[in-house]
Structure 1
Amino acid sequence: MSLNKDKPNSVVLSADHITKTIGAKNIVDNLSFDIHQGEIVGLLGPNGAGKTTTIRMIVGLIKMSQGDVIVRGHSVRHQFVKAIRHIGGIIENPEFYPYMSGYDNLKQYQRMSEGIKESRIHEVIKLVGLQDAIHKKVRAYSLGMRQRLGIAQALLHEPSILILDEPTNGLDPAGIREMRDYLKLIAREEGIAILVSSHLLSEMELMCSRVIVIQEGKLITERPIGSEPQSDLVTVNFRVSSTQDVLEAVHTLDEVRVIGVEPNRSEVTLQLKDANIPQIIKILGNAEVSIYRIEETKQSLEEEFLKWTGGNRIA
Structure 2
Amino acid sequence: MSVSIDKTNSVVLSADHITKTIGAKNIVDNLSFDIHQGEIVGLLGPNGAGKTTTIRMIVGLIQMSKGDVKVCGHSVRHQFVKAIRHIGGIIENPEFYPYMSGFDNLKQYQRMSEGVTESRIHEVIKLVGLQDAIHKKVRAYSLGMRQRLGIAQALLHEPSILILDEPTNGLDPAGIREMRDYLKLIAREEGIAILVSSHLLSEMELMCSRVIVIQEGKLVTERSIGSEVQTDQVTISFRVNKTQPALEAVHQLNDVRVIGTDTNRSEIILQLKEEIIPQIIKILGDADVSIYRIEESKQSLEEEFLKWTGGNRIA
TM-score range, shorter chain: 0.7 to 0.9
Is 1:123 aligned to 2:120, yes or no? no
Is 1:71 aligned to 2:83, yes or no? no
**Matches of 2:157 and 2:134 in 1, distance apart?**
18
CA 220–229 in structure 1, closer or farther in 2 if over 3 Å, else same: farther
CA contact (8 A) 1:3 1:223 kept: no
The structural deviation recorded for 1:230 is 3.8
CA contact (8 A) 1:21 1:27 kept: yes
CA contact (8 A) 2:99 2:137 kept: yes
Is 1:134 aligned to 2:134, yes or no? yes
* Alignment TM-score, normalising by the size of structure 1: 0.78
Gaps of 5+ in 2: 238-272, 276-295
Deviations 1:101-138 (A, max 9, x none): 00000000000000000000000000000000000000
* 1:111 match: 111
Q: How does 1:1-315 map to 2 (within 5 A)?
A: 1=2, 3-7=4-8, 10-226=10-226, 227=229, 228-231=233-236, 298-315=298-315
**Matches of 1:312 and 1:59 in 2, distance apart?**
27
* 1:282 match: none
The structural deviation recorded for 1:92 is 1.6
Taking only the aligned residue pairs, the percentage that are identical comes to: 90
Deviations 1:182-233 (A, max 9, x none): 000000000000000001000000000000000000000001003354449x
The structural deviation recorded for 1:80 is 0.2
The structural deviation recorded for 1:311 is 1.0
**Matches of 1:186 and 1:76 in 2, distance apart?**
24
Structure 1 letter corresponding to 2:13: L
CA 193–297 in structure 1, closer or farther in 2 if over 3 Å, else same: closer
CA contact (8 A) 1:15 1:32 kept: yes
User: What SS does the aligned partner of 1:107 have?
Assistant: helix
**Matches of 1:150 and 1:204 in 2, distance apart?**
20
Query: Cα RMSD (Å) of the superposition?
Result: 1.8
CA contact (8 A) 2:42 2:210 kept: yes
CA 274–3 in structure 1, closer or farther in 2 if over 3 Å, else same: closer
Structure 1 letter corresponding to 2:90: I
**Matches of 1:314 and 1:69 in 2, distance apart?**
25
Structure 2 letter corresponding to 1:138: V
CA contact (8 A) 1:2 1:35 kept: no
**Matches of 2:58 and 2:274 in 1, distance apart?**
43
User: What SS does the aligned partner of 1:214 have?
Assistant: strand
The structural deviation recorded for 1:6 is 3.9
User: What SS does the aligned partner of 1:179 have?
Assistant: helix
The structural deviation recorded for 1:274 is 7.9
CA contact (8 A) 1:3 1:222 kept: no
How many pairs align? Answer: 254
Structure 2 letter corresponding to 1:306: L
